[in-house]
Amino acid sequence: MSVQERKARERESRERLIVATARELAEQQGWDAVTTRRLAERIEYSQPVLYSHFRGKREIIGAVALEGAAEMAVGLRAATSAADGPRARVTALARAYLDFAERNPAVYDAMFQLDGGLAFAQEDTPEPLRDAFAALLDVLGEVAGDGVHPALFTEVFWAALHGLATLTRAGRLPPEGTGRRMELLVERLAVV
């Protein structure tokens, strides 16, 4: 292995460590606890080393968001691949989405609530975000109904799932009703 290859590997390894540490700290204490000083202490590198990888917290949030989007896409596809029939796939998708949001609140915030400097629904949208939307579209596109653009339907269904996830987490909706709300969403919106 050349010196350049070794340095590139070391750089990638440090970046993964920074992102993993930021994610862990955010899940434990919230995003306000994630500072470059705290991250530098935890990973045992200086702040200038951190800044050589990320210009600041915003870029770190974006990196966590991209990692989370990739994980969510894999989880959605895994959940829906075992389901039999369109309604079962939509139900599995909704459940997997809400479960992801509940299990990974800081990652979910990085993806959809915080400014990570990422473009959504534009030409320069990063691939992990495109793939996460595609995982939704693959299932929801088949139940959009006649005359309804599949991507538009997917956006509306996604917005409803996001609303359920964020309102439940904020205590605005009682958590014990989540299953029934999800069922209503599937029954009323998905044309099967």
- In tens, the pLDDT along 149-182 reads 999 999 999 999 999 999 999 999 999 999 999 9
CB-side neighbour CA atoms (13 Å) of 180 = 5
Cβ–Cβ under 8 Å, residues 81 and 184: no
pLDDT-based confidence at residue 60 (cuts at 50, 70, 90): very high
Q: How far apart are CA 100 and CA 97, in angstroms?
A: 5
Kindly give, in sequence order, each residue whose CB lies less than 8 Å from that of residue 132, ignoring residues fewer than 6 positions away: 69, 70, 72, 73, 76
Q: In the chain, pLDDT over 70 holds for what percent of residues?
A: 99
In tens, the pLDDT along 101-155 reads 999 999 999 999 999 999 999 999 999 999 999 999 999 999 999 999 999 999 9
Q: Structure pTM?
A: 0.94
pLDDT at 191: 76
Q: How far apart are CA 87 and CA 149, in angstroms?
A: 18
